């Protein structure tokens, strides 16, 4: 049988076919397949029970009928048993496990297997998206790390992913910044650390232009000049964007991020008039005290709390540019899906935005893409309060990543003092940055994330060092046996047999379920948890079963299990944005 990558969908399809043969499908039979408790099997189908209850039939008898109607290939591939009041349990036979492992033998083959409903679709992912002329701080970490993992998961399952950095590069702050820049800019400081200098100039500009002062009028005049295309101010603004992006890119390089586009808010300046016109013409927006607003009468809060899409002074705002952004992504990129990654505080904005976009697109007969707002909780210290430097300042992302590498370097040096300095530095980069990424990704993103150096750098537990070490350990088996880890001798492998081999093989097959769950829910922690469990199953196997034994069939199958563990761990960690190591 041609066993697919995602075994649960095969079981689902086989049960549907059986139900069709029995005439149950048209009466609403649903298989309800899920991953089972390992004590009972690999997958469990609850649908016969649900169906029989509803139809007032004997559930066990009905479940047996469905099992008997399964095609011969499926019957041969699984041990199938009825349990309890009418559950159907499926356990992959050892020979089937071997066939699956034989087929998914490289990162590329895992990827082609994983291609599912996203295949051929275009997804735009808007993440990181910091504001220009400011440094990235610890609050910018989660969007970048979670967003990149989501991009990789979507691409892995077949989507064409467009990474778009929606920079906050427009707004009233640029009046004050230009005001400060023209008076106090220090060329030497600008050359040395441009963003630091821009932050200083903004602060000076802000302090020098208190409310009601003539200086504030001057700063406003700078803003108006910029908005009207004054060449000097436009050139300055452009310079602010350029130096900001260059500084951001240094962080992105360390996190393995490369954007396809940096279409910031300013890009949509000339695209908002159409929004006002269409929202007004379709009757969605109305004037209110000079402003343009959208209400959603069906919504408990947004029926009275307006979505302000144009300010009373006629200026655009965050909502106007985001509406124009949605249209641009749907039309120019032909997006099938749009994902925006920001913290939970923007939940209302995006709920109102998406409600508005759906109604507006429907009214104009535009195709509506799938719209997702991926939110995450705050980063806090171990005391539960916002993470700050000792003197109460915000922690710069650059300083945080430097510290991660320094701490990892100290650990690596203590463990492996004999390794050359350059290699220890390289390991420290992968472990330090990986620890920061993984600690963020391994928790459900909806919760606040407690930042703890000791936890994220621990060599055991659900951490990057533990998983990177698991990878290095499998690699060392091949190295010690002088075998090529990319193509170990696995021909003639027999089917898994010992309890630890079987448990490990089953865990490997579940990679498909973990990828599917993480991608469907846009929640990378499901993949983290899976990788942690896989590493555990590998440890148990390695402790129980010697790999390099004399019996050629046993040796080949154990090498096969080691190799597949290696590629699944590495593929999974790469999907999360981590770099894996040969040794550590």
Size of the site for ligand ARG (CB under 6 A): 10
d(CA 144, CA 504): 33
Instruction: Kindly indicate which of the ranges 33-41, 126-134, 463-471, 492-500 contains the residues binding ligand ARG, using the contact rule CB under 6 A.
Output: 126-134
The residue within the footprint of ligand ARG, chosen from 44, 342, 352, 443 (CB under 6 A), is 342
Instruction: Look up residue 543 and give its two tokens.
Output: 């402790």
Instruction: Kindly indicate which of the ranges 128-136, 190-198, 357-365, 544-552 contains the residues binding ligand ARG, using the contact rule CB under 6 A.
Output: 128-136
Instruction: Look up residue 458 and give its two tokens.
Output: 């621990």
In this complex, which beta carbon is closest to ligand ARG, that of residue 126 or of residue 570?
A: 126
CB of 340 to ligand ARG, least distance (A): 5
CB of 401 to ligand ARG, least distance (A): 19
The residue within the footprint of ligand ARG, chosen from 31, 41, 130, 577 (CB under 6 A), is 130
DSSP assignment, residue 460? Answer: S
CB of 155 to ligand ARG, least distance (A): 20
d(CA 127, CA 338): 11
CA atoms within 13 A on the CB side of 526: 16
In this complex, which beta carbon is closest to ligand ARG, that of residue 147 or of residue 572?
A: 147
Instruction: Kindly indicate which of the ranges 129-137, 183-191, 413-421, 475-483 contains the residues binding ligand ARG, using the contact rule CB under 6 A.
Output: 129-137
CB of 105 to ligand ARG, least distance (A): 40
Rounded to an integer, what is the distance from CA 328 to the centroid of its chain?
A: 23
CA torsion angle for 262, 268, 269, 270 (degrees, to 10)?
120
340 is a contact residue toward ligand ARG (CB under 6 A): yes
d(CA 576, CA 145): 8
The residue within the footprint of ligand ARG, chosen from 74, 96, 129, 494 (CB under 6 A), is 129
Rounded to an integer, what is the distance from CA 296 to the centroid of its chain?
A: 31
CB of 325 to ligand ARG, least distance (A): 5
Instruction: Find the binding residues for ligand ARG in span 312-331 (CB under 6 A).
Output: 322, 325
In this complex, which beta carbon is closest to ligand ARG, that of residue 345 or of residue 546?
A: 345
CA atoms within 13 A on the CB side of 116: 18
d(CA 147, CA 220): 36
**Residue whose beta carbon is closest to ligand ARG:** 168
DSSP assignment, residue 40? Answer: T
Instruction: Find the binding residues for ligand ARG in span 57-86 (CB under 6 A).
Output: none
d(CA 511, CA 103): 14
Instruction: Find the binding residues for ligand ARG in span 165-194 (CB under 6 A).
Output: 166, 168
CB 558 within 8 A of CB 551: no
Q: State the first-to-last Cα distance of the chain, in angstroms, to the nearest integer.
A: 41
Binding site for ligand ARG (CB under 6 A): 126, 129-131, 166, 168, 322, 325, 340, 342
């Amino acid at each position: 049988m041609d066993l697919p990558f995602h075994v649960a969908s095969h079981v689902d399809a086989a049960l549907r076919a059986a139900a069709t043969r029995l005439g149950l499908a048209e009466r609403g039979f649903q298989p309800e397949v899920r991953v089972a408790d390992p004590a009972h099997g690999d997958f469990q189908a609850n649908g016969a029970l649900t169906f029989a209850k509803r139809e007032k039939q004997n559930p066990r008898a009905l479940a047996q009928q469905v099992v008997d109607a399964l095609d011969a290939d499926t019957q041969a591939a699984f041990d199938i048993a009825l349990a309890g009041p009418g559950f159907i349990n499926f356990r992959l036979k050892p020979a089937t496990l071997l066939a699956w492992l034989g087929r998914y033998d490289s990162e590329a083959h895992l990827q082609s297997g994983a291609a599912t409903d996203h295949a051929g679709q275009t997804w735009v992912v808007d993440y990181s998206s910091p504001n220009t002329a400011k440094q990235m701080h610890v609050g910018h970490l989660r969007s970048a790390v979670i967003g990149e993992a989501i991009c990789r998961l979507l691409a892995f399952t077949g989507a064409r992913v467009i990474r778009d950095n929606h920079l906050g590069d427009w707004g009233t702050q640029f009046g004050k910044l230009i005001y400060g820049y023209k008076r106090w800019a220090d060329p030497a400081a600008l050359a040395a650390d441009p963003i630091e200098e821009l932050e200083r100039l903004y602060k000076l500009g802000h302090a020098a232009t208190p409310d009601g002062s003539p200086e504030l009028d001057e700063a406003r005049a700078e803003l108006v000049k910029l908005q009207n295309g004054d060449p000097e101010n436009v050139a300055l603004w452009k310079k602010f964007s350029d130096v900001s992006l260059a500084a951001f890119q240094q962080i992105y390089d360390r996190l393995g991020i490369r954007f396809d586009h940096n279409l910031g808010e300013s890009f949509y300046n000339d695209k908002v008039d159409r929004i006002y016109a269409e929202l007004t013409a379709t009757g969605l927006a109305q004037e209110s005290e000079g402003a343009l607003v959208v209400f959603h009468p069906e919504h408990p809060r947004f029926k009275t709390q307006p979505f302000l899409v144009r300010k009373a002074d006629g200026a655009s705002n965050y909502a106007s540019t985001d509406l124009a952004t949605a249209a641009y992504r749907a039309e120019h990129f032909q997006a099938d899906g749009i994902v925006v990654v920001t913290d939970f505080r923007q939940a209302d904005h995006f709920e109102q935005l998406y409600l508005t976009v759906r109604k507006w697109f429907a009214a104009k007969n535009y195709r509506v893409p799938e719209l997702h707002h991926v939110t995450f909780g705050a980063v806090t210290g171990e005391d539960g309060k916002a993470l700050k430097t000792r003197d109460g300042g915000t922690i710069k992302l650059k300083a945080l990543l430097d510290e991660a590498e320094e701490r990892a370097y100290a650990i690596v040096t203590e463990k492996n003092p004999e390794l050359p300095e350059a290699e220890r530095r390289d390991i420290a980069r992968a472990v330090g940055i990986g620890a920061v990424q993984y600690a963020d990704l391994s928790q459900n993103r909806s919760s606040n994330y407690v930042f703890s150096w000791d936890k994220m750098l621990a060599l055991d537990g659900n951490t990057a060092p533990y998983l990177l070490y698991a990878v290095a350990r499998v690699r060392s088996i091949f190295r010690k046996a002088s075998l090529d880890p990319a193509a170990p001798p696995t021909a003639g492998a027999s089917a898994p047999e010992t309890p630890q081999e079987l448990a490990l093989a089953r865990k490997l097959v579940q990679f498909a379920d973990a990828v599917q769950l993480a991608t469907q829910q846009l929640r990378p922690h499901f993949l983290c948890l899976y990788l942690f469990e896989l590493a555990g199953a590998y440890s148990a196997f390695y402790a129980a079963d010697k790999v390099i034994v004399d019996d050629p069939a046993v040796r080949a199958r154990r090498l096969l299990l080691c190799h597949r563990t290696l590629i699944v761990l590495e593929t999974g960690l790469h999907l999360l944005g981590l770099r894996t190591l040969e040794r550590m």
